[in-house]
């Protein structure tokens, strides 16, 4: 009886493996909107033996998922460029890339260099750039015309009418607004802790001015469009979307520099479809496909002239937001050294628990 | 042969339950417990120790949040009982046979949509540009919009709404078994409504009350979505800190320790509740 059941189970597993082997599956772990259906269909038409399976996630959850399995379960992932070095050192969840298989010539040099510099460990490269964007401020210029820096969210003339997301971005932005360079302070964690403590004091004092901390693009959009808030920290793509509905709402790169992220491609340590993964990376570098991708993500492709490949309305929003000077002033997120996330997390909890207002 | 067959069928019947308890309850908890006793000393290097628990005790933010979560959960439990008891009493004792089904169904309807949708429903009602605020403006009761969202009261309202059914069901099933003659006897012996309620109905319903309170308290203390979405800038909830430890801070060890502490804390509160009410798990939760 027992041995029969066992045999049946073995047979089942064997057939399961056999079907998995004949048609390759590319399991993509990425951000919502980073795998539009139109692109997936086009890709599957081009490579009929590859099937694309998409799981939507965010930076922290991508790393948590890969950490839980030691880098198994997915064949291609897209964390931001500052989320690769430390997780690789701590959990060994990525696989070195073979750059000869990637059309790096099509990528814009500034983004490629920034990613390579941040994600090379012991001579091995772990990521290449895909799309980039910024975090900064947004304001309804008819109601809040003078917003120019992170500190303006705490300006009492907007009391109860501003918002921010209680995550690491606002810690970094506030540090810059205080005239500090948090990325430089990463080198000395004691100094960074000291800086974090001062940032926490600033943000706790600011609490009375804040209406609520937003959690995601949806609640932020609702508060902004209804006029419940007039200025907020934001992702640029959220601001661009709102610009289409109300041209008074614009993205404002803070005077200390918009914080810039680059979403990348990495191959998880136990990925099982590397070739398909490389095919997808090269596929989405094609200018036609970039147009479809950027229309869906609202982010800019990391290729020369990436802004030109944005759809009309997004391009208008970008040019309303950025001057050439602002582009010069972009601050790329620096690699997060091991341990910094924990320090920042504790600081954020301290701010949330404080009864400031 | 038939004896073997009977034994086999017994094993087969028992197997799903045993596997469930072992694989989905016991093993994960043991895993969390083991994880919580690992201290990180360097990347990829861990040592056995109780540092994660020491961190909880030495950092007031953490145990304050746990106490806050516990006390607010007790308040939600109390409110659910106060609101749920009359409803349950009406369904079990006053409503007619046919009305009962319909009433029960109406209590169930909110559960047909997910927690998330229900929370969004409350957001639409309570926000500054929401239904309630707008109606008040329309009636001329207030000039500018009023923000009802993003505070502890909103969290409590949302939680009570989410959990009240789990208070009503055990109460109805207990009250259902109480004969009307007992209540009549109470009045015949000269008791007024209050005395009858206090000396007859409540003592009779005690197992249901305790069962409902246990379920509601556990659900509330362990809830995540409602406090996050409806809560304001000062509304910390302990499950949010567990999520932050695991996901934002990559500190699974700390998160695991917090998980164990939450389980111990809620179990402790339930144990105290059982002692105070003189009930046992066997005649409350297990019975209903």
CA distance A352 to A166: 8
CA distance A152 to A163: 11
Give the pLDDT band of residue B42 (cuts 50, 70, 90): confident
Give the residue-averaged pLDDT of A140-144: 94
**Total length of chain B:** 288
Give the residue-averaged pLDDT of A226-252: 93
pLDDT in tens, A298-329: 889 999 988 888 988 888 888 888 888 888 88
Mean pLDDT for chain A overall: 90
Give the pLDDT band of residue A22 (cuts 50, 70, 90): low
Which among B43, B147, B234 is the nearest to A338, CB-wise? B43
Indicate if the pLDDT at residue A334 is higher than 50.
Answer: yes
Cβ neighbours of B249 in A, within 8 Å: 341-342, 344-346
Whether A2-129+263-299 and A133-260+331-353 share one fold: the answer is yes
Predicted confidence at residue A8, as pLDDT, reads: 46
Indicate if the pLDDT at residue B73 is higher than 70.
Answer: yes
What is the residue extent of each domain of chain A?
2-129+263-299, 133-260+331-353
Predicted confidence at residue A179, as pLDDT, reads: 95
With beta carbons less than 8 A apart as the criterion, state whether B208 and B175 touch: yes
Domain A2-129+263-299 in CATH 3.40.190.10: yes
Instruction: Tell me the domains of chain B and their CATH numbers.
Output: 50-277 (1.10.3720.10)
Give the pLDDT band of residue A18 (cuts 50, 70, 90): very low
Indicate the CATH number for domain A133-260+331-353: 3.40.190.10
Contact B128/A226, CB-based, under 8 Å? yes
In a 13 Å sphere around the CA of B265, the CA atoms on its Cβ side amount to: 23
Give the pLDDT band of residue A46 (cuts 50, 70, 90): very high
Structure pTM? 0.86
Can you spell out the DSSP letters for A310-334? S-HHHHHHHHHH--HHHHHT-EEPP
Indicate if the pLDDT at residue A10 is higher than 50.
Answer: no
CA distance B227 to B233: 11
Which among B233, B245, B251 is the nearest to A213, CB-wise? B233
Collapsing DSSP to helix, strand or coil, A148 comes out as coil
Instruction: Give Cα separations from A293 to A129, A264, A310, B219 (angstroms).
Output: 14, 14, 9, 42
Phi/psi-derived region of residue B256, left when phi > 0, alpha when psi is between -120 and 50, beta in every other case: alpha
Residues 219-278 of A with CB under 8 A from B: 219, 222, 226-228
Contact B65/A354, CB-based, under 8 Å? no
* Contact A211/B at CB under 8 A: yes
The interface pTM score, or ipTM, of the predicted complex is 0.84
pLDDT in tens, B144-195: 888 999 999 999 999 999 999 999 999 999 998 888 888 899 899 988 889 9
CA distance B237 to B222: 9
Cβ neighbours of A353 in B, within 8 Å: 61, 64-65, 234, 236
């Amino acid at each position: 009886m027992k041995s029969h059941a066992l045999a049946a189970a073995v047979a089942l597993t064997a057939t399961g493996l056999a079907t998995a082997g004949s048609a390759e599956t590319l399991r993509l772990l990425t951000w919502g909107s980073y795998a539009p259906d139109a692109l997936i269909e086009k890709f599957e038409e081009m490579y009929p033996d590859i099937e694309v399976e998409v799981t939507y996630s965010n930076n922290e959850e991508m790393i948590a998922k890969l950490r839980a399995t030691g880098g198994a379960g997915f064949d291609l992932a897209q964390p931001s460029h500052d989320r690769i070095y430390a997780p690789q050192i701590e959990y060994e969840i990525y696989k070195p890339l073979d750059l000869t298989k990637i059309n790096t010539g099509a990528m814009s040099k500034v983004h490629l260099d920034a990613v390579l510099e941040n994600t090379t460990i012991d001579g091995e490269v772990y990521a290449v750039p895909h799309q980039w964007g910024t975090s900064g401020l947004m304001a309804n210029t008819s109601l809040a015309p003078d917003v120019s820096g992170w500190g303006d969210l705490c300006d009492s003339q907007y009391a109860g009418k501003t918002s921010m997301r209680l995550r690491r971005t606002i810690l970094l932005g506030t540090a810059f607004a205080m005239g500090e360079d948090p990325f430089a302070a990463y080198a000395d964690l004691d100094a960074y802790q000291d800086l974090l403590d001062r940032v926490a004091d600033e943000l706790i004092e600011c609490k009375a001015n804040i209406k609520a901390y937003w959690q995601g693009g949806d609640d932020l959009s609702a508060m902004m469009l209804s006029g419940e808030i007039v200025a907020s920290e934001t992702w640029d793509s959220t601001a661009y979307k709102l610009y289409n509905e109300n041209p008074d709402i614009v993205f404002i790169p803070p005077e200390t520099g918009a914080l810039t992220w680059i979403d990348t491609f990495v191959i998880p340590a136990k990925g099982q479809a590397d070739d398909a993964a490389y095919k997808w990376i090269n596929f989405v570098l094609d200018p036609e496909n970039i147009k479809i991708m950027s229309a869906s993500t609202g982010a800019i492709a990391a290729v020369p002239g990436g802004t030109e490949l944005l759809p009309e309305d997004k391009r208008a929003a970008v040019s309303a937001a950025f001057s050439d000077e602002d582009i010069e002033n972009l601050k790329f997120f620096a690699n997060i050294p091991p341990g910094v996330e924990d320090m920042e997390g504790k600081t954020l909890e301290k701010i949330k628990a404080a009864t400031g207002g | 042969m038939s004896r073997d067959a009977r034994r086999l069928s017994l094993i087969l019947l028992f197997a799903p339950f045993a596997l469930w308890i072992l694989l989905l309850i016991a093993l994960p908890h043991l895993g969390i417990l083991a994880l919580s006793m690992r201290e990180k000393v360097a990347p990829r290097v861990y040592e056995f120790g109780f540092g994660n628990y020491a961190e909880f005790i030495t950092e007031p933010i953490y145990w304050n949040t746990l106490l806050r979560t516990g006390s607010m959960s007790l308040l939600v439990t109390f409110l659910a009982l106060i609101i749920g008891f009359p409803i349950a009493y009406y369904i079990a004792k006053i409503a007619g046979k046919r009305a009962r089904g319909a009433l029960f169904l109406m209590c169930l309807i909110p559960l047909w949509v997910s927690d998330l949708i229900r929370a969004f429903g409350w957001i639409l009602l309570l926000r500054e540009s929401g239904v309630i605020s707008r109606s008040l403006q329309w009636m001329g009761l207030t000039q500018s919009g009023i923000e009802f969202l993003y505070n502890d009261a909103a969290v409590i309202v949302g939680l009570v709404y989410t959990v009240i059914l789990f208070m009503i069901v055990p109460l109805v099933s207990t009250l259902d078994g109480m004969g009307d003659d007992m209540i009549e006897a109470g009045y015949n012996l000269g008791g007024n409504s209050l005395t009858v309620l206090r000396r007859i109905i409540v003592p009779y319903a005690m197992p249901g009350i305790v069962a409902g309170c246990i379920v509601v308290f556990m659900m509330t203390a362990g809830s995540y979505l409602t406090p996050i979405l409806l809560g304001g800038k000062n509304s910390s909830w302990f499950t949010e800190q567990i999520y932050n430890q695991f996901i934002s801070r990559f500190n699974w060890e700390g998160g695991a320790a917090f998980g164990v502490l939450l389980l111990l804390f809620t179990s402790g509160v339930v144990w105290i509740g059982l002692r105070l009410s003189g009930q046992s798990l066997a005649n409350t939760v297990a019975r209903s």
